[in-house]
Structure formats: structure tokens, C-alpha cells
Chain A
Amino acid sequence: MFDHSHSTLPAAPGVGFKASHFAALTADSGPVRWVEIHAENYMGAGGRPMAQLSALGERFPISVHGVGLSIGGEGPLDADHLARLKRLIDRVQPASFSEHLAWSSHDTGYLNDLLPLPYTEATLDRVAAHIDEVQDRLGRQMLLENPSSYLAFEASTLSEPDFLRALTRRTGCGLLLDVNNVFVSATNLGFAPLDYIDAFPLDAVGEIHLGGHDEDTDDHGAPLLIDSHCRAVADPVWTLLDAVLMRTGPKPVLIEWDTDVPDWPVLAEEARRAEEVLSRLEVSA
């Protein structure tokens, strides 16, 4: 059981780091006060990625964000991957480590997507055991991120916020609240995003994510949003961020932009918008 320190990231804007932004980011980071890396991109032994990571670590608090641990998986955690993660965490000494409420590996290999799981007492036991194992192995608390959902399981007996709350109570883990994921899931599954936020264990939130989504439709013509991280954050997601921060107070807010990555000024402008939201909060406090 780990205490609720959640993370030591500053309550300020951060960005998901892209190698193409290295020169611009290190020359003038603008409003960006911290950076997040995907753990699996920094598991090589050396070369430019590790050199850039070392340079970033001297300038910014680092958040290590894993995408491949398959915490929601049915089988045991991959011990080799956990060992690689432990080496990276020991090397970087990040301000935060986070992973997803999802699975991505099965017996045939790694599927490179964040796949969903039903919310039941059985899956709760399994995910809690996996989080315990990760936190024990890494010797630190982790944050768990809420997923984007495109469908629901008939087998689910717990709501997602209740499932996440139970995990925080059992394991002492913190939560990474992805506000875009809330908006995407709410639209796709037909619930009110604010109801989800009101049910969410906000006292466990150590970090917030924002990202862009694409718009599609399902078989019945109903809107189907895709969590693509390939464009600017949508206006209703900014509005939802306001509502979240009014409830939580200032938090570290990350802009994710992973495909069709824009030039640095475009990403910096998104971070500036997050900075504005955070500064409005300070004025009204």
C-alpha cells in the first residue's frame, strides 16, 4: 500500500515529448514546465533517444508514461518488461509514473492498442494485484489512466469511476484523469461527462491529460469519437477541463499530440491555452 503522494509534477502545463521538438523545446520551452515520455520509446541501451532523455531530465521534471504493461491483462505481468521499466525508472528518477486501465498483450504477442476490459469483481481483483506488483517492483506509487471507450461489456457490474475508486483504495495508486477520454467515452456510450466527473475519485488525481479526437459514426449513425491524438484539443474538452479544475484545484495538465505531430509553435500554443485555464483558476481562488 502506497501513500497518496500521486506525483511531484508541477501544477502547470506539460507536453508529450516528440524528438522532432527537441531543439525548439530546449531553446525556449514557453509555458511548458514538464515533459512526458512514453516508456517503451526509451528502453534502448543508448544513442540519441537516451541522450535526449538525459538532457531533458536536466531541464524538466519528467513523467514516464507506460503504454505496454498490460495491467488489465488476464495473464501475469511480463516480468521482463517490468524489469526494463524498473531500469528506466531508476535511471530517470521521474516525478511521476503512469500506466493505463487496459490490456495490450495476449499469448500471441503485443497488440499495440489499449484494449478494454469488463468491470467486475473478478477483474478488479486481478487489476489490483497487478498494480500492487508494479508498485512493489518499482518501489513507488503509480497513476492509472481512465480509458477511451468505444463499446461496453454486458458483463460489467461496476461503473468505471467506482472501479477506479476501488483500485485506489485497495492499492494506494493515484489516478491520471484523461479529460478527453471522458468526453470521448461519454459521447460514445451515451452518458453525461459531468456525471462521470462528479462520480470520479478526484482526490486521487495526480495528473490530467488532454488530447485531440476524430469524429466518426457507428452502425446507427450515432457519433463515435476516436481518441486519435492527431489534432488540437476540442473546445468542449477545454470546457470540461475547466469544470474538473474547479473541483480539484490546479493540477499538472499534459497536452498529448502523437500522430500528425505539428511544428513546435502549434503544440506550445495548446500548452499556453492550458496555462490560461490554470491561471484563471488562481485568480478566482
Chain B
Amino acid sequence: MTHAAQFRAGLLDARLPVPPGLTDGQGRPAGRRYAVYRNNVAVTLTEAIITGFPAIASLLGADNMQRVAGAFIRQEQPRTPILSQYGAGFPAFLAEQDQLSHLPYLADVARIDLAMRLSYHAADHTPLNPAILAQPDEATLMATRLSRAPSLETVSSRWPACSIWRYAMGRTADKPAGEAEDVAILRAEFDPVPVVLPTGGQRFLDALRADATLGDAIAAAGDGFDVAATLTLLLSHNALATPQPKG
């Protein structure tokens, strides 16, 4: 085993002995000096999960969050040194934890936390000029293709995940009601906010991502879709972008 492989092996497993060949600089075994590195790795990765999933941290409380995040970092380390991207596997990890099975919505709330981070760091865009939608000719309007802002993220949940997220983050005192919610993360300038999409809104946005025309996206959204309310919501948060020239 190489120096680094030996050094690495014990960092995330405190049951393993201190690797051989390490000293205090005076010839004595390194002992708990090695634990400084163990501690740095565990504390900083755990902290990255806690700060990266603030709604989960709020729902679980400090002690439980510390335990769950501490277990997760041993299972999955960051794939890149960009810590703002760390934790893609955390929602699924939460769903697998038997002791959290009484909180079945946690994974979806975690997906909102993750989507908020992605949105925060996403590319900037030039918001769509709403005048484009004031087409007098309906056929031309329905053939128009609308672009989603790069910062627009969605999370579809069987649970009232957005209401739970807002409650957990102290954005509302209203107790979440027990209905499924499709959630959009919208970033008007720099600060993303999660909002509940109207019925069919998720399907509408999925169709836009697949480059559907406005007419086809409305058809994809299905019965009961309120196109005016949805477009008003999206435009008021700068969630549609000026289409970029192709090519």
C-alpha cells in the first residue's frame, strides 16, 4: 500500500489504527496527531452537508442532523472539490434510513435544498420580454418556443414538500397541508425561491425543456392547466429567458 492509500484508509474509519511510519517529528509515534486530519475531514464534510441542506437540518434538529450527515459522508465523499455540488446522493440516503421512515417527505425536501443550491450558482440569463407573448396572431404565438432560465429547477413531490420546506426555514408559520406539490425554484436575480406550481405546471415546464412550442407545451400540461396564471408566475420571477440564437 502506498503512503497516501494507508493515510487515506483511516481518515473516515476511526476504528482503523493510525497508519505506520508517522511520527511527532521527535521519533515518537504520531498517535492522536493523525486524528487532527481525521477530525478535519469529518467535521468539514459534515458541515458541508449541514449547511447545504438547511431545511433538513431544521427538521431533524442539530443532534440528529449531525448523526445523519456524519453517516452520509462515510458512504459518499464529494466527487469534485466544488463543495456547493456535494450531496447529490443525500436525498436518496435519507429515504433509505429506517429510523427516518416516519418522515417520508424528507427526501423531497432535501431535493428542494439541493435544487436551491444549483439554482443559486446557475448561469445568468436575459429575462424574456413579456411583449413577445402579446402576439396578436394566436397561431404565431402558439408556435413560439420559450426558453427556461438556466436557474429554473423543479421538484415533483407526492408530499407538500414546498410547504414543509417553507415551514422548516421559518418562511411561514402555516402548518403544511397534506397535498402533493410540484415545486419550481425561481431566481429573479440572485436569490432563489421555491414556489408551488399550478396544476400541470411541471408537465408544461418539462415540455419547454424538451423544446416544445407553446401550443404543444399547453397541450402537454393537460386538463385544468391555467396557462395565464403559470406564465404570470414565471414572468414575475424572470424564470423565462430570451431564446439564444441557435448554432
**A residues with CB within 8 A of B:** 40-41, 43-51, 67-70, 73-74, 78, 80-81, 84, 103-106, 108-113, 115-118, 149-155, 188-191, 216, 218-220, 222, 224, 226
CB–CB B4/A113 < 8 A: no
Task: Collect the chain B residues with CB atoms within 8 Å of residue A152's CB.
Answer: 22-25, 30
Residue of A48, A51, A104, A117 touching B81 (CB-CB under 8 A): A104
Q: A114 to nearest B CB, angstroms?
A: 8
Residue of B7, B45, B80 touching A80 (CB-CB under 8 A): B80
**Which of B33-41, B93-101, B132-140 contacts the other chain?**
B33-41
Measured in the bound complex, the distance between the Cα atoms of B48 and A189 in whole Å is 30
CB–CB A47/B121 < 8 A: yes
Task: Collect the chain B residues with CB atoms within 8 Å of residue A67's CB.
Answer: 81
CB–CB A44/B81 < 8 A: no
Measured in the bound complex, the distance between the Cα atoms of B22 and A112 in whole Å is 21
Task: Collect the chain B residues with CB atoms within 8 Å of residue A104's CB.
Answer: 81
Q: B26 to nearest A CB, angstroms?
A: 5
CB–CB A112/B25 < 8 A: no
Query: Which residue on B lies nearest to A219, using beta carbons?
Result: B31
Q: A154 to nearest B CB, angstroms?
A: 5
Residue of B7, B33, B40, B80 touching A188 (CB-CB under 8 A): B33
Task: Collect the chain A residues with CB atoms within 8 Å of residue B11's CB.
Answer: 111, 115
CB–CB A224/B36 < 8 A: yes
Q: B53 to nearest A CB, angstroms?
A: 16
Query: Which residue on A lies nearest to B22, using beta carbons?
Result: A151
**B residues with CB within 8 A of A:** 2-5, 7-8, 11, 21-26, 28, 30-34, 36-37, 40-41, 44-45, 48, 76-84, 119-124, 150-151, 187, 190-191
Residue of B28, B41, B119 touching A112 (CB-CB under 8 A): B41
CB–CB B81/A154 < 8 A: no
Task: Collect the chain B residues with CB atoms within 8 Å of residue A105's CB.
Answer: 81
Smallest CB-CB A-B distances: 3 pairs: A68-B81, A44-B121, A189-B25
CB–CB B120/A117 < 8 A: no
- Which interface residue of B8, B48, B79, B84 has the most chain A CB atoms within 10 A? B8
Task: Collect the chain A residues with CB atoms within 8 Å of residue B121's CB.
Answer: 44-47, 49
Measured in the bound complex, the distance between the Cα atoms of B190 and A190 in whole Å is 49
Task: Collect the chain B residues with CB atoms within 8 Å of residue A81's CB.
Answer: 80-81
Q: B76 to nearest A CB, angstroms?
A: 8
Could you list some 11 contacts between A and B, CB below 8 A? Answer: A47-B124, A68-B80, A110-B77, A113-B41, A113-B44, A151-B25, A152-B30, A189-B25, A191-B25, A218-B31, A219-B31
Query: Which residue on A lies nearest to B9, using beta carbons?
Result: A106
Task: Collect the chain B residues with CB atoms within 8 Å of residue A226's CB.
Answer: 36
Task: Collect the chain B residues with CB atoms within 8 Å of residue A110's CB.
Answer: 77-81
Known: A51-B190, A117-B4, A150-B37. A218 touches B32 (CB 8 A): yes
CB–CB B3/A41 < 8 A: no
Query: Which residue on A lies nearest to B189, using beta carbons?
Result: A48
Query: Which residue on A lies nearest to B32, using beta carbons?
Result: A219
Q: B72 to nearest A CB, angstroms?
A: 13
Measured in the bound complex, the distance between the Cα atoms of B40 and A216 in whole Å is 14
Measured in the bound complex, the distance between the Cα atoms of B22 and A117 in whole Å is 11
Task: Collect the chain A residues with CB atoms within 8 Å of residue B5's CB.
Answer: 74, 106
Known: A113-B41, A150-B33. A73 touches B81 (CB 8 A): no
Measured in the bound complex, the distance between the Cα atoms of B85 and A84 in whole Å is 14
CB–CB B3/A155 < 8 A: yes
Query: Which residue on A lies nearest to B84, using beta carbons?
Result: A44
CB–CB B82/A40 < 8 A: yes
Measured in the bound complex, the distance between the Cα atoms of B74 and A280 in whole Å is 50
